[in-house]
Amino acid sequence: TRIVVLISGSGSNLQAIIDHCQSGDIQGDIVSVISNKADAFGLTRAERANIPTQVLSHKEFDSREAYDEQLAKIIDSCNPDLVVLAGFMRILTPSLVQKFKGKMLNIHPSLLPKYQGLNTHQRAIDANDEYHGASVHFVTEELDGGPVVVQAKVPILPNDTADVLAQRVHKQEHVIYPLVVKWFSEHRLTMEADYAVFDNDPL
Ligand code: GRF
């Protein structure tokens, strides 16, 4: 499985996926890491693992469409089976999403469909929720709205700050994202219409 990972920041989810590729747990190779930010620490993580990196800054483009067109070209040139969004902080155009439908995954730090968008940890605390978490989902045109594959749930504890809660969620992200990528790499996971389907009895 040829995997392309898109990042904008720290890349701790990228790191988790790198680790699981290196251990052989994921039957795949990350063939490229693409960032819209030149100073993303995830690029350093990729370089340390000898993975080719590319930076495509959105600042050099007049429109979202023009950026995504170029991004699609770069992704295409990697010939990927799977595109993994791991903290890629950009809204994708419908045409980019359409192009990689069924083979693009994202991780979102909430128990979707709750708290689409930003500041999810603070919003969950403010709502006095008992639980919070993260969701891995297929990407569709609806922002943070595609079919969910797996969720990890964590308790919200008294006196939690958004930062403390975010750390608790992040730990679980590093468990569920590699797991989903592993399933995909084993051809056990597909997107059918509006559903994610897991085949637990592979040949
Ligand atoms: C994670 O919280 C993820 O859920 C969100 O962006 C963050 C990325 O973190 N989409 P990292 O760059 O993988 O450390």
State whether the beta carbon of 133 lies less than 6 angstroms from ligand 1: no
Amino acid at 108: H
Query: For the chain, give me the number of helices (H) and strands (E)?
Result: 6, 9
Map residue 2 onto helix, strand or coil. strand
Q: What confidence score (pLDDT) does residue 202 get?
A: 62
pLDDT in tens, 47-69: 999 999 999 999 999 999 999 99
Neighbour count for residue 73 (Cβ, 10 Å): 10
Residue 153: give the domain boundaries.
Answer: 2-198
Asked if the structure places residue 144 within a domain, the reply is yes
* Token pair for 13: 């989810």
φ/ψ (deg, to 5) at 161:
-95, 165
Residue environment code for 166-200, b if the CB has 16+ CB neighbours within 10 A, otherwise e: bebbbebbbebbbbbbbbbbeeebebeeeebeeee
| Residue segments in the chain with a per-residue pLDDT below the cut of 70 | 202-203
Q: Supply the residue whose CA is at minimum distance from atom 6 of ligand 1.
A: 87
Concerning whether 108 is annotated as a catalytic residue, the answer is yes
Q: Where are the alpha helices (DSSP H) in the chain?
A: 12-22, 41-48, 64-77, 94-99, 120-126, 162-185
Asked if the structure places residue 79 within a domain, the reply is yes
Asked if the structure places residue 134 within a domain, the reply is yes
> How many angstroms separate the alpha carbon of residue 87 from the centre of ligand 1?
4
Q: What confidence score (pLDDT) does residue 200 get?
A: 86
Q: What confidence score (pLDDT) does residue 194 get?
A: 83
Q: Which of 20, 108, 121, 174 is catalytic?
A: 108
Q: What confidence score (pLDDT) does residue 201 get?
A: 78
- Please tell me the number of Cα atoms within 13 Å of 84 on its side-chain side: 28
Q: Are 144 and 106 in contact (CB under 8 A)?
A: yes
Of all atoms in ligand 1, which is nearest to the CA of residue 134? 4
Q: How far apart are the C-alpha atoms of 85 and 46, rounded to whole Å?
A: 15
Binding residues: 11-13, 64, 89-92, 106
Q: What confidence score (pLDDT) does residue 168 get?
A: 98
Asked if the structure places residue 166 within a domain, the reply is yes
Q: Is 45 exposed, middle or buried (0-12, 13-18, 19+ CB in 10 A)?
A: buried
Of all atoms in ligand 1, which is nearest to the CA of residue 173? 4
φ/ψ (deg, to 5) at 4:
-115, 135
Asked if the structure places residue 203 within a domain, the reply is no
Asked if the structure places residue 8 within a domain, the reply is yes
Q: Where are the alpha helices (DSSP H) in 49-161?
A: 64-77, 94-99, 120-126
φ/ψ (deg, to 5) at 95:
-70, -35
CATH number, domain with residue 41: 3.40.50.170
Asked if the structure places residue 112 within a domain, the reply is yes
Cα angle: 145, vertex 147, 150; to 5 degrees: 110
Asked if the structure places residue 131 within a domain, the reply is yes
Number of structural domains in the chain: 1
